[in-house]
Amino acid sequence: MLDDVDRALIHALHIDGRTPFSRIATVLGVSTQTVARRYRRLTAEVALRVVGLPDTRHSGQAQWILRLTAAPHSAQNLARALARRADTSWVKLISGGTEIFTIVTTPDHQPDRALLLHDIPRTAGITAVSAHCLLHLYHGGPSAWRGRPNVLDERQQRLLEPVVQPHSERHAVTRSDAALLAALRHDGRASHADLAKTTGWSAATVARRLAELRAGGALFFDIELDTAVLGIAVQALLWMSVAPTHLDRVATTLAGHAELAFVAATTGSTNLVANALCTGPAALHRYLTQRLGSVEGIHTIETAPVLRTVKATSPMAVV
């Protein structure tokens, strides 16, 4: 059960995952030792984790959403195998455990280099595969789910906002950043000294590169945790068909819904996908029939319940 300090700490890390514990302690009015102790406890008990992630909109990378249907006896093993890959995130078992959802990141916009055309068709047990190119992210990534704790007042939030020095040029992610990004995906709070050991750079070079990537919007920090502690009991993926002329309006509207953690336009038979997080089946039903149902322009909706998230964004989240 989270108390007020726990919720304030989560909110603070949401604002800036690399904020020093000493600054968080000052803003919360507690000791630095208390903040560090609470962080360690939340890491152990609710899988709280800070992760550093590239913003694919500024990195030259492409993302593909895969829906894989597999025999019941092989779906879980396949999901674990996908979770172990460095190019996958958000591996979820859905639709009764016979379908897998995952996002695959490719180094460029050439899908023939992605696992979807090489490894997946050769895997035994798969009965159907569909791939959808993620065309535009309306909500998710740097714009976090609004259902997270929001307990700090405006003054406290201003004190915790990251100090990002503007740069005269935009710095995109390059191949030389691979080791740095891999380390930050494991631990977004890793020290400059630890990152220097991983990359072979000096601590000063690490600090400078982090500042450049953050200032250019190529790198952001997010948090992961077990949403059950926030009262979330039901997750569902929503596949929607929207007339192209209404797509931008509908997606922008949905991006403002607190129930949705992810909204994106895709290719395929449906052109909009969202991830809903609700307190229970009744809450999901109310959202679908009342709030979502009142949005004009949505022709069809397929609701796929999420049974389990095998992997979030971080490799350390694999279970």
The pLDDT score that the predictor gives to residue 171 is 72
Q: Exposed, middle or buried: residue 198 (CB in 10 Å: 0-12, 13-18, 19+)?
A: middle
Instruction: Tell me how crowded residue 100 is: count the other CB atoms within 10 A of its CB.
Output: 24
pLDDT (0 to 100) of residue 13: 96
Has residue 240 been placed in a domain? yes
pLDDT at 240 over 90: yes
Task: Provide the pLDDT for residue 289.
Answer: 96
Whether the pLDDT of residue 181 is over 80: the answer is: yes
- The reported pLDDT for the residue numbered 134 is 94
CATH number of the domain that residue 302 is part of: 3.30.70.920
- State yes or no: pLDDT of 307 exceeds 50: yes
CB atoms within 10 A of CB 86: 10
Q: Is the pLDDT of residue 294 over 50?
A: yes
The closest alpha carbon to 229, from 151, 285, 149, belongs to 149
Q: Is the pTM of this model over 0.85?
A: yes
Residue 56 lies in a domain: no
Q: What is the mean pLDDT of the chain?
A: 89
- Cβ atoms of 149 and 7 within 8 Å: the answer is yes
- Please tell me the predicted confidence (pLDDT) of residue 172: 78
Enclosing domain of residue 262: 139-147+226-307
For residue 318, the model assigns a pLDDT of 45
Q: How confident is the model over 66-103, as pLDDT tens digits?
A: 999 988 778 888 899 889 888 899 999 998 888 999 99
pLDDT tens profile 259-273? 999 999 999 999 999
> Would 278 be classed as within a structural domain?
yes
Looking from the CA of 116 toward its CB, the CA atoms found within 13 Å total: 24
Q: Could you give the CA distance from residue 31 to residue 22 in angstroms, rounded to a whole number?
A: 8
Span 177-187, mean pLDDT? Answer: 93
The answer to whether residue 205 is domain-embedded is no
Question: Which has more confidence, 152 or 55?
Answer: 152
**For 97-130, how does the pLDDT look when each residue is reduced to its tens digit (9 = 90+)?**
889 999 998 876 555 555 555 666 556 678 888 9
pLDDT at 246: 97
Higher-scoring residue by pLDDT: 145, 181 = 181
34 part of a folded domain: no
pLDDT digits (tens, 9 = 90+) for 11-24: 999 999 999 999 99
Q: Is residue 16 part of a domain?
A: no
Q: What pLDDT score does 162 carry?
A: 86
Average pLDDT over residues 243-248: 96
Confidence of residue 173 (pLDDT cuts 50, 70, 90): confident
Which amino acid belongs to residue 127? Answer: T
Q: What share of the chain has pLDDT > 90, as a percent?
A: 70
For the chain, what is the domain count? 1
Helix ranges, 105-168 (H): 154-160
Residue listed under structure tokens 């068709």:
121
| Residue 13 covered by a domain | no
What per-residue confidence (pLDDT) applies to 116?
56
Least confident of 108-122, 225-239, 242-256: 108-122
If you ran DSSP here, which 8-state letter would residue 143 be given? B
Residue scoring higher pLDDT (148 or 6): 6
Q: Any idea which residue has 């509207």 for tokens?
A: 253
The reply to whether 69 falls in a domain is no
